[in-house]
Amino acid sequence: MADSSKYTLGRGKMYLGEWDPSTGFPAGEPTAVGNVPEASFELTEETLEHYNSEAGLRTKDKSVTIEIGYNLKFITDEISAANIARFVKGTITEPTASDNRMISGNAALDKEYYVKFVTDNPAGPDYTYHFWRVKLKPSGEMGLISDEWAQMGYEGEGLKVDSADVEDWGTDPDTDYFKIEEMDTATG
C-alpha cells in the first residue's frame, strides 16, 4: 500500500562552500546561495556489456559497471556578487576607497565546491544532501534584459574524495561522493 506521507513537494535551501584541495575538506562553512527555484541531481553510470554470439541471436550475458559519478543542476534567481562570480568562474575583488567591487571572469577555472542542500518540504520527509566535492560550470545563459526574473543556471559534476579525508571529516568513509541524511521530523 502506498504511504502518502512520503509524497513530497520539494523545497529547501542550498549552501555552497569552497573545497580546499590541499586539505581535502571544505574551506570554512558553506553560505546560502539564496532562492533556488529548481534543483536536481542524477547518478551516472557507465557499463561494459558482453554479448555471447555463439548461435542465432546475440545475447547479453554480462554487464560490468566501469564508471560511476553524479551530476547536479540548479538555478538561482538571486543575482548576488558571489553567485555571479561562480557563474562566470571568477573572483571578487573587494571594494576600496577609490574603486568598486570587481568580479573578474574566467579567473577561477579550477575551483571546486562543497554543496549542501537542506530540504524544508511543505509535504513529505526532509533530508540534508551533502555533496562533498563538486566542479561547477554555468548552464546556459543569464539574460541581461528580459521581462522575466533574471536567473543563473549551474551544472555540477561530482568528484571522488579520498576515503581517508572523508573519514577524518567525521563522516562515513563509504561515502566518497555524497551522503543523504534523513532528518528526524517530517511534515505533511
Dump pLDDT digits (tens) for 2-38: 899 999 999 999 999 999 888 888 888 899 999 999 9
By the 8 A CB rule, do 140 and 154 touch? Answer: no
Cell of 89: 568562474
Question: Which DSSP letter does residue 21 get?
Answer: T
Give the rounded distance of the alpha carbon of 8 from its chain centre.
20
Mean pLDDT of the region 112-135: 94
Cell of 180: 543523504
CB atoms near residue 162 (< 10 Å)? 12
Question: Which DSSP letter does residue 89 get?
Answer: T
Cell of 176: 566518497
By the 8 A CB rule, do 133 and 112 touch? Answer: yes
pLDDT in the model for residue 112:
95
Question: Is pLDDT of 169 > 70?
Answer: no
Question: Is pLDDT of 138 > 50?
Answer: yes
pLDDT digits (tens, 9 = 90+) for 48-92: 999 999 989 999 999 999 999 999 999 999 999 999 999 999 999
pLDDT in the model for residue 166:
56
Name the nearest CA neighbour of 139 among 152, 124, 125, 123: 152
Q: What is the CA radius of gyration of the chain?
A: 21
pLDDT in the model for residue 10:
93
**SS3 call for 82:** helix
Q: To the nearest whole number, what is the mean pLDDT of the chain?
A: 89
Question: Is pLDDT of 185 > 70?
Answer: no
Domains of the chain by residue range: 15-187
pLDDT in the model for residue 98:
80
Question: Is pLDDT of 123 > 50?
Answer: yes
Q: Which of 19-28, 50-59, 160-169, 179-188 has the lowest mean pLDDT?
A: 160-169
Could you tell me if residue 84 is left (phi over 0), alpha (psi between -120 and 50 degrees) or otherwise beta? alpha
Phi, psi angles (nearest 5°) of residue 164: -65, -40
By the 8 A CB rule, do 76 and 15 touch? Answer: no
What are the start-end ranges of the E strands in 1-83? 12-20, 25-26, 31-32, 38-52, 59-76
